[in-house]
Chains A and B, each alone.
Chain A
Amino acid sequence: MDRIPILRMGPFLLVTIQVDMHDKLALTLQDDLTSRISDVGARGVLIDISSLEIVDSFIGRTLANIASMSRVLDAETVVVGMQPAVAITLVELGMSLPGIRTALNVELGMEYLRQNTIVEGSGDGWDGSED
């Protein structure tokens, strides 16, 4: 597999990473996602990593890059489903993924995106303070 599929659901893009990604595949995903965000004017990106058995510094950095790039393109990113063992390892490795919004599962992630990407006057939206 040399590409990870990106699904569109209304204003959001959904990605489920189900393979053990080699580094180039992660970079391809980064490129594909940023182009898709700009092509379709996506407001949010949800990345499901519940199948990932490890997140090392490279994958962590790729996720952080995707979040930064989508923010610049006016889209929110939420990473969902990280396994507890992966979370423990990431923090011990020295990566706390600052700037990445996470949610426990797809449902909560979608809820977050819906609440934080509504256009104009939606009240207590995302204030962008977590830079």
Chain B
Amino acid sequence: MAGTVLKTEAVPVRSDADVVMVRQRVRAWVNEMQFSLVDQTKIVTAASELARNTLEHGKGGKLDISMLQNGYRKGIQLVFSDDGPGIPDVRLALTDGYTTGSGMGLGLSGSKRLMNEFYIQTEVNRGTTVSCIRWK
């Protein structure tokens, strides 16, 4: 459930160095929003996993970071989008250990566990958008 968007920032995800930049920008946001250290670590780790997915499977894309306000609660929303090949079977892609790449198959399933809300919109040959929120 999204709330009012207070501010946003777009970060490109086109290279290895961009994945590092994603981690640093997300860290700056969650630090500013005063998430606990453990929550900060979870959010940055999820961002790193999803950014790598966008790069490797989506052939590059971007991240939109937003600060949300829902009633008295604040949250951070991360939206990773790409115009890549899409995910033919989302349920399979969300299975621990399932991988089409060289990784461990924890990117999607693991980052889902690290966030409070998690949505995937995907269309084969059109692209994928992964949107997730962690509330404070």
Which A residues lie at the B interface, using CB under 8 A? 20-24, 53-58, 60-61, 83-86, 88-90, 92-95
Among A23, A86, A89, contact of B19 (Cβ-Cβ < 8 Å): A23
Residue numbers in A under 8 Å from B52 (CB-CB): 23, 56, 58
Known: A23-B52, A89-B38, A89-B42. A57 touches B110 (CB 8 A): yes
Which B residues lie at the A interface, using CB under 8 A? 16-17, 19-20, 23-24, 27, 37-38, 40-42, 44-45, 48-49, 52, 96, 103-104, 106-107, 109-111, 113-114
A20 and B23 contacting across the interface, CB-CB below 8 Å: yes
A85 and B110 contacting across the interface, CB-CB below 8 Å: no
Distance of A11 Cα from B7 Cα, bound (Å):
54
Most buried by B among A57, A83, A84, A90: A57
Distance of A61 Cα from B97 Cα, bound (Å):
13
Residue numbers in B under 8 Å from A93 (CB-CB): 45, 49, 106, 110-111, 113-114
> Closest approach, in angstroms, between the C-beta of B44 and any C-beta of chain A?
5
> Closest approach, in angstroms, between the C-beta of A84 and any C-beta of chain B?
8
Residue numbers in B under 8 Å from A57 (CB-CB): 49, 103-104, 106-107, 110
Known: A22-B17, A22-B19, A61-B103. A54 touches B41 (CB 8 A): yes
Q: Which 7 pairs across A and B sit closest by C-beta, in order of nearness?
A: A93-B110, A85-B41, A22-B16, A56-B48, A57-B106, A85-B38, A89-B41
